[in-house]
Amino acid sequence: MTAHTKTLIRGARLLGGEPQDVLIDGETVAAVGTGLDAEGARVIEAGGLVLLPGLVDLHTHLREPGREDSETVLTGTRAAAAGGYTAVHAMANTFPVADTAGVVEQVWRLGKESGYCDVQPVGAVTVGLEGKHLAELGAMHDSAANVRVFSDDGKCVDDAVIMRRALEYVKAFDGVVAQHAQEPRLTEGAQMNEGVVSAELGLGGWPAVAEESIIARDVLLAAHVGSRVHICHLSTAGSVEIVRWAKSKGWNVTAEVTPHHLLLTDELVRTYNPVYKVNPPLRTEADVLALRAALADGTIDCVATDHAPHPHEDKDCEWPAAAMGMVGLETALSVVQQTMVDTGLLDWAGVADRMSLRPAAISGIAGQGRPVAAGEPANLTLVDPDYRGDVDPAGFASRSRNTPYEGRELPGRVTHTFLRGRATVVDGKLA
Amino acid sequence: MMRHLISAADLTRDDAVLILDTAEEMARVADRPIKKLPTLRGRTVVNLFFEDSTRTRISFEAAEKRLSADVINFTAKGSSVSKGESLKDTAQTLEAMGVDAVVIRHGASGAPFRLATSGWIDAAVINAGDGTHQHPTQALLDAFTLRRRLVGPDAGLGQDLAGRRVTIVGDILHSRVARSNVDLLHTLGAHVTLVAPPTLVPVGVENWPCEVSYSLDKVLDRSDAVMMLRVQRERMNAAYFPTEREYARRYGLDGERMAKMPADAIVMHPGPMVRGMEITAEVADSPRCTVVEQVTNGVSVRMAVLYLLLGGNEPAVAQNRSAPASEENHAS
């Protein structure tokens, strides 16, 4: 697609505000205003639709290399585009682990080839995610993949000294360590949130304190060495309090929450259906409400999907044998609309901030999470907020179907996604 | 009556009393020279045991055979399961061979529930113990033993356990027996008190319909029955308690403690007992200890469950006995 193309998005509610026209010329936004000239442009009548900057996911499992049976960079980025994303951060727990320049460059290159969204590889903090020796963080940063976010996600960097060194080391290139906060000894054999429901179901408990104690340690460590730290998929009310306290001290702490932790609770585990099995686990109603309030007031910086595809057989089994994780890219915006917008906690400008601007800023990814304004890259998402429909996993672009929302009615639908001016989704279908 | 028996919590008071009453009928069969009923003739029951178990499997097998069912025993060890076959495939394979009911023991909490509700198979599912979740037939045989001892075999018919005080002592956290008993005994009107060191009581127990005490001595004199649970020595290594001796001193039942119980109170144990740990030989061998009776009662209760789940609306045992021919007339 080398031809110089123009697209006019006519009458979209920019960030949910008044209708505006947005003219895309080539890879950039040429003009934003009313009554823009449509000459030579393909016109998208966007009356009633909300226009957002392309969404940015800080936490995506694309599974390639190694588990191409559950997802590939291509299928994962197609799912991302379908969900309104123009950039994803590919987590490092692949096979082999993304702990060398070679692996992150491979993922980065596959992302370029896919063409559906930008793929920014996340590098492992430690070799093999084993928490013992620092991976070559500098080499991954200096590679073509230009890694700035490092995470052993799926595993916690539980050794305090390794965590301290990692926090310090990445300062040399303005990197950030994204911690999967899970005290390992407190979560041996953990299957679900520890509380009233786990006591009844006889499933091993994953106590909130196992998350909160690591977050408390890490914000103190980050403060001590003057580094920044990012907390992955915060899931408890107590974690919110710790992050709020750390921020009140002026410490450089950021945090993310997943869509499923904004909506679902551990009551669903009563079905013993492993589609609800996820790490960190679904918590209680009180936690859900605290997370929503924290996302609204900015204590939690952003929404990240933790999109975790798994093949059918890994979920079609008894609970303890099942894999942890849920796909999320194609339902994230709808869940955020239901839990945050339709409840009045956040307006669409807030959604743009939490799902695009802030995650891009935390990562430092170029050309993403920019305001919708003349001269900016044309990474854009159009949403129909009035749409209502049941989630049908058969229609997913992802290779996996492990969604907790099957058959559930969710609001909103992505109608168009533009990656640097090129439509990746048109009328709700992948282009 | 329900189609499956997954959790003691699923039973209403009337369901439970019906099972206990039916078990009394079954118990009478055991007193006959020929301990066999034709009730499940032509029906096939598979005992699907993924976890090692001797007494529960044999108890179910005895119950099934006394009801004339065809019995298939499946143990995971040395089977296709050890070659990586899933629970779903194993169950579907067995059902394809024409199984009417699956009695399942599994190490994963919720496995019987999954089997019954995921559309994998159509057979009736009976939970013979899943992980640390439920063991409903154990709770039923315990309730049966309690009713027989505290109310009487005949006087107990139609009765529940209203007002009876049952104390359950030991590793509550890892015990499916405790969970099932709390649910069922509460449904039957009994007052349940759990006794354990705080490390062996689950977080979330506050929502259970029972009381919790950390002191055995404080509750002995107000217990109509004390149920001792097995405490595995391995728990010590995970710091649940410091030493075996300290556990035995604080939570073990010895003769001295048994003397503090009301005169007609009984001592129960689901077995296998760890003598010297949670129970001394003196108590285990005393006439107040019902451990052997519980085993006998287990067969009667499991016969009752199998009969009620698989026998549908066919006549009860009493009628079968007086008029054997009617069994065939009423067979569906």
Residue that terminates a domain, selected from A311, A337, A363: A363
pLDDT higher for A1 or B231?
A: B231
Q: Indicate if A398 and A351 belong to the same structural domain.
A: no
Q: Which residue has the tokens 């058969």?
A: A394
Q: Indicate if A310 and A217 belong to the same structural domain.
A: yes
- DSSP code, position B305: H
User: Do residues A266 and A283 touch, judged by C-beta distance below 8 A?
Assistant: yes
Q: Is the pLDDT of residue B320 over 80?
A: no
Mean pLDDT of A7-28: 97
Amino acid, res. B55: R
Look up the CATH number of the domain holding residue A43: 2.30.40.10
B12 found inside a domain: yes
- Cα–Cα distance measured from residue A106 to residue A206, given in angstroms and rounded to the nearest whole number: 35
Query: pLDDT (tens digit, 9 = 90+) per residue, B10-24?
Result: 999 999 999 999 999
Q: What is this model's ipTM?
A: 0.89
Tell me whether strands A149-150 and A118-121 are parallel, antiparallel or unpaired.
unpaired
Q: Indicate if B217 and B151 belong to the same structural domain.
A: yes
* pLDDT for the residue A5: 85
Q: Is the pLDDT of residue A377 over 60?
A: yes
Which residues in A94-188 belong to E strands, given as ranges?
118-121, 149-150, 176-179
Q: Alpha carbon of A359 to those of A244, A370, B156: distances in Å? A: 18, 11, 67
Burial class of residue A245 (count of CB atoms within 10 Å of its CB; 0-12, 13-18, 19+): middle
B5 phi/psi in degrees, rounded to 5: -125, 100
B1 found inside a domain: no
Chosen from B4, B113, B210 to mutate, greatest number of chain A CBs within 10 A: B113
* pLDDT for the residue B29: 87
- DSSP code, position A25: E
B3 found inside a domain: no
CB contact under 8 A, A318 and B110: yes
A380 pLDDT band (50/70/90 cuts)? Answer: very high
Residue of A nearest to B6 (CA): A201
Which residue pairs from B150-153 have beta carbons closer than 8 angstroms and sit at least 24 positions apart in sequence?
B150/B224, B150/B225, B150/B264, B150/B266, B153/B24, B153/B27
Q: Indicate if B157 and B276 belong to the same structural domain.
A: yes
Residue of B nearest to A203 (CA): B109
User: Do residues B217 and B173 touch, judged by C-beta distance below 8 A?
Assistant: no
Q: What are the tokens at B55? A: 């007494």
Query: pLDDT (tens digit, 9 = 90+) per residue, B38-86?
Result: 999 999 999 999 988 889 999 999 999 999 999 999 887 766 666 677 8
Mean pLDDT of B135-163: 97
A33 found inside a domain: yes
B61 found inside a domain: yes
Chain A residues with CB-CB distance to B200 below 8 A: none
Q: Is the pLDDT of residue A424 over 80?
A: yes
Chain B residues with CB-CB distance to A198 below 8 A: 202-204
User: Do residues B69 and B45 touch, judged by C-beta distance below 8 A?
Assistant: yes
Chain B residues with CB-CB distance to A406 below 8 A: none
Interface contacts (A, B; CB < 8 Å)? 77
Chain B interface residues (partner A, CB cutoff 8 A): 86-88, 106-111, 113-114, 117-118, 130-134, 176, 179, 202-208
Of A203, A207, A316, the CB nearest to B109: A203
Query: pLDDT (tens digit, 9 = 90+) per residue, B86-133?
Result: 899 988 998 898 999 999 999 999 999 999 999 999 999 999 999 999
Of A199, A201, A205, the CB nearest to B110: A201
Q: Indicate if B28 and B72 belong to the same structural domain.
A: yes
Residue ranges making up the domain that contains B147: 136-293
A368 found inside a domain: no
CB contact under 8 A, B108 and A207: no
- Cα–Cα distance measured from residue A350 to residue B253, given in angstroms and rounded to the nearest whole number: 63
Q: Indicate if B47 and B144 belong to the same structural domain.
A: no
Of A199, A202, A273, the CB nearest to B176: A202
* pLDDT for the residue B156: 95
Q: Which residue has the tokens 């990474």?
A: A379
Q: Is the pLDDT of residue A114 over 80?
A: yes
Chosen from A191, A192, A197, A272 to mutate, greatest number of chain B CBs within 10 A: A272
A320 phi/psi in degrees, rounded to 5: -65, -25
- Cα–Cα distance measured from residue A257 to residue A300, given in angstroms and rounded to the nearest whole number: 7
CB contact under 8 A, B202 and A198: yes
Find the angle CA(A185)-CA(A189)-CA(A192) to the nearest 5 degrees. Answer: 105
* pLDDT for the residue A4: 54
Chosen from A186, A201, A267 to mutate, greatest number of chain B CBs within 10 A: A201
Q: Indicate if B257 and B206 belong to the same structural domain.
A: yes
* pLDDT for the residue A323: 97
Percent of chain B at pLDDT exceeding 70: 92
- Any CB–CB contact under 8 A between A210 and chain B? no
- Cα–Cα distance measured from residue B169 to residue B268, given in angstroms and rounded to the nearest whole number: 10
A117 found inside a domain: yes
Q: Indicate if A70 and A204 belong to the same structural domain.
A: yes
B2 found inside a domain: no
- Cα–Cα distance measured from residue A35 to residue A282, given in angstroms and rounded to the nearest whole number: 48
Chain A residues with CB-CB distance to B134 below 8 A: 202
CB contact under 8 A, A202 and B132: yes
Of A25, A152, A158, A306, which residue is the catalytic one? A306
Q: Which residue has the tokens 């604080």?
A: B250
Q: What are the tokens at A313? A: 């057989």
Q: Indicate if B121 and B184 belong to the same structural domain.
A: no
Mean pLDDT of B203-226: 97
Chain A residues with CB-CB distance to B110 below 8 A: 201-203, 272, 318-320
Query: pLDDT (tens digit, 9 = 90+) per residue, B219-263?
Result: 999 999 999 999 987 777 788 999 999 999 999 999 999 999 999
- Cα–Cα distance measured from residue B101 to residue B113, given in angstroms and rounded to the nearest whole number: 14
Mean pLDDT of A287-294: 98
Find the angle CA(A214)-CA(A220)-CA(A222) to the nearest 5 degrees. Answer: 100
How many folded domains does chain A comprise? Answer: 2
Of A196, A202, A271, the CB nearest to B109: A202
Question: Which residues, listed in sequence order, are joined to residue B212 by a DSSP beta bridge?
Answer: B194
CB contact under 8 A, B130 and A321: no
- Cα–Cα distance measured from residue A94 to residue A70, given in angstroms and rounded to the nearest whole number: 12
- Cα–Cα distance measured from residue A346 to residue A354, given in angstroms and rounded to the nearest whole number: 10
* pLDDT for the residue A247: 98
Q: Indicate if A115 and A261 belong to the same structural domain.
A: yes
Three-class secondary structure of residue A416 per DSSP: strand
A371 found inside a domain: no
- DSSP code, position A413: E
Q: Indicate if A351 and A265 belong to the same structural domain.
A: yes
Tell me whether strands A229-231 and A380-390 are parallel, antiparallel or unpaired.
unpaired
Q: What are the tokens at B257? A: 């403690």
Q: Alpha carbon of B305 to those of B3, B24, B214: distances in Å? A: 10, 12, 35
* pLDDT for the residue B324: 37
* Residue A192: closest CA among A181, A182, A203: A203
Of A191, A195, A318, the CB nearest to B204: A195
Mean pLDDT of A264-278: 98
Residue of A nearest to B172 (CA): A199
- Cα–Cα distance measured from residue A60 to residue A329, given in angstroms and rounded to the nearest whole number: 8
* Residue B328: closest CA among B4, B38, B98: B38
Query: What is the total residue count of chain A?
Result: 431
Q: Is the pLDDT of residue A182 over 90?
A: yes
* pLDDT for the residue B311: 81
CB contact under 8 A, B109 and A197: no
Amino acid, res. B233: R
Q: Indicate if A356 and A223 belong to the same structural domain.
A: yes
* pLDDT for the residue B232: 81
CA atoms within 13 A on the CB side of B190: 30
Of B88, B117, B205, the CB nearest to A199: B205
Query: CA of B136, closest CA in chain A: separation in Å?
Result: 13
B122 phi/psi in degrees, rounded to 5: -105, -15
* pLDDT for the residue B329: 37
Query: CA of A194, closest CA in chain B: separation in Å?
Result: 7
Of A196, A273, A319, the CB nearest to B204: A196
Mean pLDDT of A94-121: 97
User: Do residues B101 and B312 touch, judged by C-beta distance below 8 A?
Assistant: no
Residue of A nearest to B91 (CA): A317
Q: Indicate if A298 and A404 belong to the same structural domain.
A: no
Active site residue A57: no
CA R_g for chain B:
20
User: Do residues B221 and B261 touch, judged by C-beta distance below 8 A?
Assistant: yes
Q: What are the tokens at A33? A: 């205003």
Look up the CATH number of the domain holding residue A201: 3.20.20.140
* pLDDT for the residue B237: 75
Q: Indicate if A68 and A124 belong to the same structural domain.
A: yes
Residue of A nearest to B206 (CA): A196
User: Do residues A57 and A82 touch, judged by C-beta distance below 8 A?
Assistant: no
CB contact under 8 A, B114 and A318: yes
Q: Indicate if A280 and A405 belong to the same structural domain.
A: no
Chain B residues with CB-CB distance to A272 below 8 A: 109-110, 113-114, 117
CB contact under 8 A, B108 and A321: yes
* pLDDT for the residue B314: 55
- Cα–Cα distance measured from residue A40 to residue B265, given in angstroms and rounded to the nearest whole number: 94
Mean residue pLDDT across chain B: 91
Q: Alpha carbon of B190 to those of A354, B217, B222, B225, B261: distances in Å? A: 53, 20, 13, 11, 17
Q: Alpha carbon of A238 to those of A251, A416, B195, B205: distances in Å? A: 18, 38, 30, 21
Residue of A nearest to B107 (CA): A320
Q: What are the tokens at B246? A: 């300290």
Q: Indicate if B299 and B275 belong to the same structural domain.
A: no
Q: Indicate if B248 and B318 belong to the same structural domain.
A: no
Q: Is A167 left (phi over 0), alpha (psi -120 to 50) or beta?
A: alpha
Which residues in A252-408 belong to E strands, given as ranges?
253-257, 302-303, 380-390
B35 found inside a domain: yes
Mean pLDDT of A406-423: 98
CB contact under 8 A, B130 and A320: no
Percent of chain A at pLDDT exceeding 70: 99
- Any CB–CB contact under 8 A between A317 and chain B? yes
* pLDDT for the residue A62: 98
B126 found inside a domain: yes
A339 found inside a domain: yes
Q: Indicate if B184 and B283 belong to the same structural domain.
A: yes
- Within 10 Å of residue A272's Cβ, how many Cβ atoms? 27
Residue ranges making up the domain that contains A411: 6-50+376-430
Mean residue pLDDT across chain A: 97
Residues of chain A by 3-state class (helix, strand, coil), percent to 5: 35, 25, 40
CB contact under 8 A, B179 and A200: yes
* pLDDT for the residue B312: 56
Q: Is the pLDDT of residue B192 over 80?
A: yes
* pLDDT for the residue B332: 36
* Residue A115: closest CA among A63, A76, A68, A69: A76
Chain A residues with CB-CB distance to B206 below 8 A: 196
Three-class secondary structure of residue B101 per DSSP: strand
- Cα–Cα distance measured from residue A169 to residue A226, given in angstroms and rounded to the nearest whole number: 11
- Cα–Cα distance measured from residue A252 to residue A246, given in angstroms and rounded to the nearest whole number: 8
Q: Indicate if A339 and A387 belong to the same structural domain.
A: no
- Any CB–CB contact under 8 A between A127 and chain B? no
* Of the listed ranges A249-258, A327-336, B58-67, B229-238, the one predicted with least confidence: B229-238
B170 pLDDT band (50/70/90 cuts)? Answer: very high
Give the DSSP H/E element, type plus range, for residue B133. none
Three-class secondary structure of residue A315 per DSSP: coil
- Any CB–CB contact under 8 A between A198 and chain B? yes
Chain A residues with CB-CB distance to B203 below 8 A: 194-195, 198-199, 205, 207
User: Do residues B75 and B103 touch, judged by C-beta distance below 8 A?
Assistant: no
B271 found inside a domain: yes
Task: Order across the sheet with B165-169: list the strands.
Answer: B211-213, B191-195, B165-169, B225-228, B266-268
Q: What are the tokens at B112? A: 């019987």
Look up the CATH number of the domain holding residue B247: 3.40.50.1370
* Residue B113: closest CA among B37, B261, B4: B4
